[in-house]
Structure 1
Amino acid sequence: MSEMLKTQDGREIAYDRIDGAGPGVVFLGGFRSDKEGTKALALEAWAKRHGRAFLRFDYSGHGQSSGDFLDGCIGDWFEDARAAILELTEGPQVLVGSSMGGWISLLMAREYPEKVAGLVTIAAAPDFTEDGMWAEFSDTQRQELIEAGQVALPSDYSDEPYIITKRLIEDGRGRLVLRTPLNLPMPVRMLQGTADADVPVSVAVRLIEHATGPDIRLTLVKDADHRFSTPECLKLIELSVLKVIQRIGEVA
């Protein structure tokens, strides 16, 4: 049964947590995803097998947490992640960020490097509101967003369209990580599928070229899609987390 964390902003964040050895592992999900996804549950099972502390949670407007998805933005979801990580974990953590969760984990690493022992990103989507949405909108879509406050986009994952709000786009501009220096002093493992239709390989290459740090590696998986949830991909995520934990132990 999930527990609830009430944040300083009055939002209620649903979470599941297991105790274990540190550094703990925190899973950060993607845009419109929740903590019950395949990757989150597989990683939790791995953490249980290895006696490792683990946390998964829902951003506000996602899953079991309070709020309406359409009211949210990157800043809100970053604040939710920050509250969960700072209040529900002990010591530095290994953050595993999927898609948008990759962007949010990078924000955490930039703002709270002392709390982030290591990073594993899965199809990380930094700055996607600007580079993957606004940049690809037609003039008509941009005008609609500005005048109506939102625009509907078709979704590959459901019959319901994505509703993109003006607030999401405008707030995202204050959270960009690829326009200013991004130092990642912790071990970082980036995973990316070559058949990802949502986050192209060029994004992963741009991120690894932009970030600075002593131990950053990118692994490309041929034919893997954005879900990155095949048994082979899940195994690679687990292995990457283990490698990061081992590297942390070597450096300590």
Structure 2
Amino acid sequence: MTSAQDGALEFLEVGTGSAARQIAVRRRAGEGPPLVWLGGFRSDMGATKAMTLDAWAKRQGRPLVRFDYTGHGESTGVFAEATISTWLADAQAVVAAYAPENPILVGSSMGGWIACLVACARAGNRRTAPSGLVLIAPALDFTQSLLWDRFTPEIRAQIERDGAWLRPSAYDPTPVPITHALIQDGQRHCLLGANFDPGCPVHILQGMDDPDVPYTHALRVVERLPKAGTLLTLIADGDHRLSRPQDLQRLLTTVTEFRVSAD
């Protein structure tokens, strides 16, 4: 692990042998519960919401950690060779190294799923359990319920036959490889088949005009979480990214509320 502070790029080595990779990390020093940004599928730590949160942390003197998963952004590794297990291991290593005590996890889309998995694994320890989760359009179990279950028989057959399907993206001119390994591995980490407890308060921000993660999916997540401490904010005209000025301000307000409750 290289050493740097206040937003400078550093790298954390995760994995061993042929699975070793360098995870790009940027962090800010500060006071209070550390914030950890967990981005979405094919996103990176330079995205709008991550940078807005970073600028807020700088102004407020708050500790913040953001990073790129394997095969994303400035981290090493091949995207098509990674799975949910890979990205979960990245997140767990970053949290353990840079925000080991009672972090506030802020997860967007796939990052919401990863945040829940990280929280559940730490929930039994009062010192390391998260102080709270802020989930933006959380795509829990998306490899199954939002991808595989929606695919046509032809797409499923191609994935099983060829090992992957190149999915067109509304956010990237390059198609996204959806691999058989990604689908199969995702089944190991599904949470929505039963109730689960991340061991901390949860606030979900969800757009009702989200074409990628429908708001009905957020309702499923709420149904599986403990009633006490769980909040859901529905934005009637909000899309998947929730990156408009009013959406970003709502995100900062939510994070600020968690600062108060954590303190």
- Quickly name the TM-score band, shorter chain normalised: over 0.9
C-alpha deviations, 1:210-238, integer Å up to 9, x for none? Answer: 11152110001121111111111011111
- Which residue in the other structure is 1:42 paired with? 52
Choose from 1, 8, 16 the match for 2:15. Answer: 8
Counterpart check, 1:244 vs 2:258: yes
- Which residue in the other structure is 1:141 paired with? 155
Counterpart check, 1:170 vs 2:170: no
Work out the CA distance in 2 between the residues paired with 1:59 and 1:36. 12
Counterpart check, 1:216 vs 2:230: yes
C-alpha deviations, 1:142-196, integer Å up to 9, x for none? Answer: 1111110001222111222221000100000001111133113312110001111
Work out the CA distance in 2 between the residues paired with 1:69 and 1:121. 23
Q: Percent identity?
A: 41
Q: Structure 2 vs 1, CA of residues 90 and 75 (structure 1 numbering), >3 Å: closer, same or farther?
A: closer
Paired residues for 1:85-234 under 5 Å: 85-113=95-123, 114-234=128-248
Gaps of 5+ in 1: none
Counterpart check, 1:58 vs 2:68: yes
- Which residue in the other structure is 1:74 paired with? 84
Contact kept? 1:188, 1:244, Cα under 8 Å: no
Secondary structure at the residue paired with 1:226?
Answer: coil
Contact kept? 2:32, 2:259, Cα under 8 Å: no
In structure 1, give the amino acid aligned to 2:38.
L
Runs (4 or more) in structure 1 with deviation over 6 Å come to none
Counterpart check, 1:17 vs 2:27: yes
Secondary structure at the residue paired with 2:138?
Answer: coil
TM, length-normalised to structure 1? 0.96
Gaps of 5+ in 2: 1-7
Secondary structure at the residue paired with 1:22?
Answer: coil
Range moving further from structure 2, 110-119 or 124-133 = 110-119
Contact kept? 2:120, 2:199, Cα under 8 Å: no
In structure 2, give the amino acid aligned to 1:24.
P
Work out the CA distance in 2 between the residues paired with 1:211 and 1:129. 20
Q: RMSD value over aligned CA atoms? A: 1.1
Contact kept? 1:178, 1:207, Cα under 8 Å: yes
Structure 1 residue 59 displacement after superposition: 0.3
In structure 2, give the amino acid aligned to 1:159.
P
Work out the CA distance in 2 between the residues paired with 1:185 and 1:59. 24
Secondary structure at the residue paired with 2:63?
Answer: strand
Task: Report how many aligned residue pairs link the two structures.
Answer: 249
Work out the CA distance in 2 between the residues paired with 1:137 and 1:229. 28
Work out the CA distance in 2 between the residues paired with 1:160 and 1:186. 38
Work out the CA distance in 2 between the residues paired with 1:90 and 1:176. 24
C-alpha deviations, 1:74-102, integer Å up to 9, x for none? Answer: 11000000000001124110000000000
Range moving further from structure 2, 100-109 or 87-96 = 87-96
TM, length-normalised to structure 2? 0.92
In structure 1, give the amino acid aligned to 2:234.
L
Secondary structure at the residue paired with 1:91?
Answer: coil
Work out the CA distance in 1 between the residues paired with 2:164 and 2:198. 34
